[in-house]
Structures are given as structure tokens and as C-alpha cells.
Chain A
Amino acid sequence: MIDVRNVYKTFLTPHEVKALVDVTSKIDAGEVVVVIGPSGSGKSTFLRCLNQLETADSGHIFIDGIDILDPKTDINKVRAEVGMVFQSFNLFPHKSVFENVTLAQRVVRKRSKAESKEKAMRLLEKVGIQDKAAVYPDQLSGGQQQRVAIARALAMDPKVMLFDEPTSALDPEMIGEVLDVMKNLAREGMTMAVVTHEMGFAREVADNVIFMDAGAIVEVGTPDHFFKNPDHDRTKLFLSQIL
């Protein structure tokens, strides 16, 4: 589903940072991959390159067989197939919860009012906030906002979901409700790439764990192997600090 080959990305401003160094990775359909690593290790950049919120400098990124770095590719079409959930939710504050979930369905997917409404209500029910449809985002708790953001992304019927530290901005007691939604999604067979610090989630849900440091992928493995018996010293050091 996602095929990343020899991707490099360097930020020049405010000062030169090698964010991705020769990153190669593969995520199969239905697979859940959790990306972990210290801050500044390039995990968010890796995720953001997958829907071209950042453009990789070189290499190839195939999403469902389409080379998104090819200038001829209509990136908007690809993005519609790749849902993204942000650390800071980024809900549209001037639109109600319902409108947040229907807007892109209407303008991108060109769905009818009735169709988008039906879809929105079903997804809001799925994430457990159907009763807040008429409410504006600033009246919701962080956990509720993030669940709306997930529903908003799912409304496009994406083939892949990208989660960029979805629980990092949440109060501890709200993390659970968001992780539950993500676990359900994984169980339903959604292809997911998740950047997170929630090791419990990685252990329980991930098919593969990617460990990144200094822009490079250090180690890839199943959660069992990764947490109990990592190959690399850098991984061991990282795990010893957080577990």
C-alpha cells in the first residue's frame, strides 16, 4: 500500500537539518505500523512526506502504486485517499462538528447533501460523539475534538490513515478514548501509520514497529521482538529511557 524508497529530506531553514536520510520502508494493506523515536528523529517528517505536506528531496514514495513525487501526479487525488490526524486536531473552528465532517465530502468527493450527512452521522456515531454534531469545536474536550478529526478523515473513505502523535496534546484521561477509536479502526483492517509515544498501543496493535533516530530508520520489527529483544544498542538505550 505504501512503498517508500531511499527518501531524503533536508530542511534548510531556520538551519540545516537532515530530517530524513535514506528512508526505505513498506507498509502493506491492512497493516498497522507504529513509528517511534526520540523527538527530532524525523518520524513526523516521514509521515508528512507520505501525503506530501512535506515534499521529499529525492527518492520514491508510492501510495497504492502511484508515485506521489512524480510532478504529473495530482496530489489532491492522492491526499483524498490518505487520511491524516494531527497532534493539534486542526478542526475548522468556524464550522460545526457536522460541517467539519461533511465539508471535504461535499467539495472534494462532490457527494450530495443527504449522502454526506448520512456518512457523517454514521462516523460520528462510530467515534461516539453523534450527540455533539451541532456543536462547534471549541466547546469540545481535546479527546472529543480528536475523535471528530478522525471522523473527518474517515469520511473521505481513505485507503490509509496517518496519525501524527494523535494523543500528545491530550489530557491523560482522554488518551484512552482516542486510542480506543484507533484500535477499533485497526481491528477493522484499516492500513495505518501511527507516530506515537504510546508504547502500550504499539505493543497491542502494531504489526510492525519502526524505530527512527537522526532521520534514519534504525530498526524495524514486530512489537514482540522490538520491545523484548531489540537488535540495536540505540533502540535499547531509547527503550531503557522510556519504559
Chain B
Amino acid sequence: MNDSLTQRLNKQRRSYQLSVLCFFMLLAGLIAGLYYATLQIDYVWRWYNVPKYFVYQQTIELKCDVEGDVTSTSLKDGVAVVKVKQGDDVSTYEGEAQEISVEPGDVVYPDDVLASGQYWKAGILILGLILTLKVSMIAIFFGIFIGLFGGLARISDNPALKWSAVTYIELIRGSPLLVQIFIWYFVLGTLINTLLTKYGFENGVPPLWFGVAALASFTGAYVAEIVRAGIQSIHRGQTEAARSLGMTYAQSMLHVILPQAMLRIIPPLAGQFISLIKDSSLLGIIAIRELTKATREVVTTSLQPFELWFVCALLYLILTFTFSMFLQYLERRALVQ
């Protein structure tokens, strides 16, 4: 190898390393700048307070509210039963506990602890995260179905199907999701629940399902366009070949077009679903305590907005990143096949 080539390669390597260094310095600079700014307003970072919003230990106590004698105690399968006799009355106390603090024969007074236990509980952020995941998954599931049928209807020759699909897609894509959530909850929700009450179903539908419906119908419209584009990207010759063999429209779709379109649909679909996970943060406004609403509640009580909003963003990032990895894996597997 000649020297000038070695020199050139070395130079290239050095300039690459310099750029990498620049990137990390920029990142460190941003973080340092932000931190410095928070010091200027005397913000106290208390990261140690954050973990308790993920999991925390809760002490549960079984308390007495009468004065009397303990006649019997038992602790079975994590449930404590304590009987207290007051004159002729026997009161029975029953509840979750790990240990019993009284023995038969003890005299107890109101507010005495009869039994207690310490339990690990999922914090509000984890509960919010789970709800976000749940809402998103249900919405994705229905969104795929709506989108598949919407997309097929969109390219159908039947005007009833086609125009319904076009109207649906244009209405949904032309208005903000926030407004659609309000319509689902305040208009359709009120209508449905009032009608249900009128016909004897007192409980009605909980807000969660109107939130899911809003997200599913929203995603469905976008998926429909993705499906349409995927199908139309398959060369016309494929349909012609299938139809020339005597296959019906449905058979050629099922066996020839959709399997090929699927491959092209997966990447834009992944993007759409990641949007959906993020858009689910809007559901907080109709009292669904998903991750963002949960964070807002914690911020109100803890007065640590900086830490918590960063944590919230990080949790969304973890969700979306995991999801996109999963879809990439699916795509690779489909390609191998």
C-alpha cells in the first residue's frame, strides 16, 4: 500500500472521529446548559423521589373500631380474620394482612391495629403506562380491521362502498384528533349512554371505550390509505394473471395481491402505529388516566415537573422504540419468507 493512500485513509478516519466527538460534545453541552439554567431558577432536582411513582410499598392496617376482647384470630392465605367481642356482640374484622398484632384474650380499643401488612404496589406512572399500552393495542387491533376494509372499499368499483370509504377517510383525516375525541366523548358518548340508560342499561359505556373508538377510527382512516396505496403499488399484471386463471376478485386479492401488498404496507403501518401510541396522550382530556394524564397528576402533587416530564417522554420513547423494533423484526421475517 502506498503512503499517500494510507495518509488519506488516516485523514478520513480522523475527520470521522472528530465529527463523532462534536456530536457528543453538543449533546453534553445541551444537557449542561439545561442543568445550569435550572440552577439559575433554584430548581432542586430530586430524582430519588421518582422511583416511588413506579413501585412503592404500601402498609395496610386492619383497625378495630370498638372496645372489647379478642376472641379468636386466624391468618390464612394472606387474609386475617379477627373476632372482637363487645358485651354480647361479636364483630368480625377481615382483611389482607401479613401478620396479626393481637392474641385471643387481648383487650382492644378503637383505632388499635389488629393486623397489618406491607405490599409492593405499582405506582401511578406504571398504571398509566399500562393503560396507554392497553388503549393503543386495542385501537391498533380495530384500526387494522377498519383500515383493511376501508382500503378495499376505497378501491372498489361499487359507489356505495367507495363513497362511504372516501367520506370516512376525508372526514377523519381532515379534522384534528382532539376534536374527534371530543365528538366521540361529548356527542356520541352522551347520546349512547343516555339512550342506554333510557332502555335500562344503567351503567353505560365507560369513557375508556370512547377513547379507544376515537383512536381506532382515526388510525383506521390512515391505515385505509396505506392499504390502498399498498394494493395499488402491486403491478396490474398480477391481478390480470390471477383473474385470467379464473380466480374471483376476492380470491385474487386473498392469494395474490394482499400477500404481496402486506410487505409494502408494514413499514408505513409501523409509523402509523407509533403515531397512535403518541396520540393516545390526548385521551387524558376525557378523564382516561393514561401515561400523560398520570404524569400530570403526579406533577401536581409532587411539584417535580422537570424530572417527571422527562421520565414521561422516556417511557413513550421506550414504548415506541420497542414497537418499531418488533415491526422491523416482522418485516425481516416476512422478507426472508
CB–CB A107/B255 < 8 A: yes
Contact of B240 among A53, A78, A82 (CB under 8 A): A53
- Among A86-94, A125-133, A226-234, the stretch in contact with B: A86-94
CB proximity to A under 8 Å, residues B246-292: 246-248, 251, 255-256, 259-260
A76 interface contact, C-beta 8 A? yes
A15 adjacent to chain B (CB < 8 Å): no
Chain A, 62-87, CB within 8 A of any chain B CB: 76-84, 86
Chain A 151-181, CB-CB to B under 8 Å as 1, else 0, gives 0110010000000000000000000000000
A51 at the interface (CB under 8 A from B): yes
Q: State the CA gap A152–B251 with chains docked (Å).
A: 16
B245 touches A80 (CB 8 A): yes
Q: Is the CB of B244 within 8 A of A92?
A: no
Q: Tell me the total A-B contact number using a CB cutoff of 8 A.
A: 62
Residues on the A chain within 8 Å of B235, using CB: 90
Do B238 and A92 have beta carbons less than 8 Å apart? Answer: yes
**How far is B238's CA from A152's CA once the two chains are assembled, in angstroms?**
13
Interface size class of A (residues with CB under 8 A): 20 to 34
Q: Please determine whether A79 and B237 come into contact, CB atoms closer than 8 angstroms.
A: no
B107 within 8 Å of A (CB atoms): no
Q: Is the CB of B260 within 8 A of A90?
A: no
B334 to chain A, nearest CB (A): 10
Interface contact B240-A79, CB-CB below 8 Å: no
Q: How many residues of B contact A (CB 8 A)?
A: 17
Residue numbers in A under 8 Å from B13 (CB-CB): none
Which residues of chain A are near B237, meaning CB under 8 Å?
Answer: 86, 88, 90
Given contacts A86-B241, A107-B251, contact A92 B256 (CB under 8 A): yes
Alpha-carbon separation in the docked complex, A243 to B242 (Å) = 36
Residues of the A chain whose Cβ atoms lie less than 8 Å from the Cβ of B238: 90, 92
Interface assignment of A104: CB less than 8 Å from any CB of chain B: yes
Q: Which residues of B lie under 8 Å from residue A90 when comparing CB positions?
A: 235, 237-238, 240-241
Chosen A-B contacts, 14 in total, with CB atoms closer than 8 Å, are A53-B244, A76-B243, A77-B246, A88-B237, A90-B241, A103-B245, A104-B242, A104-B247, A107-B247, A108-B247, A108-B251, A152-B245, A156-B245, A156-B246
List chain A positions with a Cβ less than 8 A from chain B: 51, 53, 76-84, 86, 88, 90-94, 103-104, 107-108, 149, 152-153, 156
| Extra A-B contacts (7), CB below 8 Å, given A86-B240, A94-B260 | A76-B243, A76-B248, A79-B243, A92-B242, A94-B259, A108-B246, A108-B247
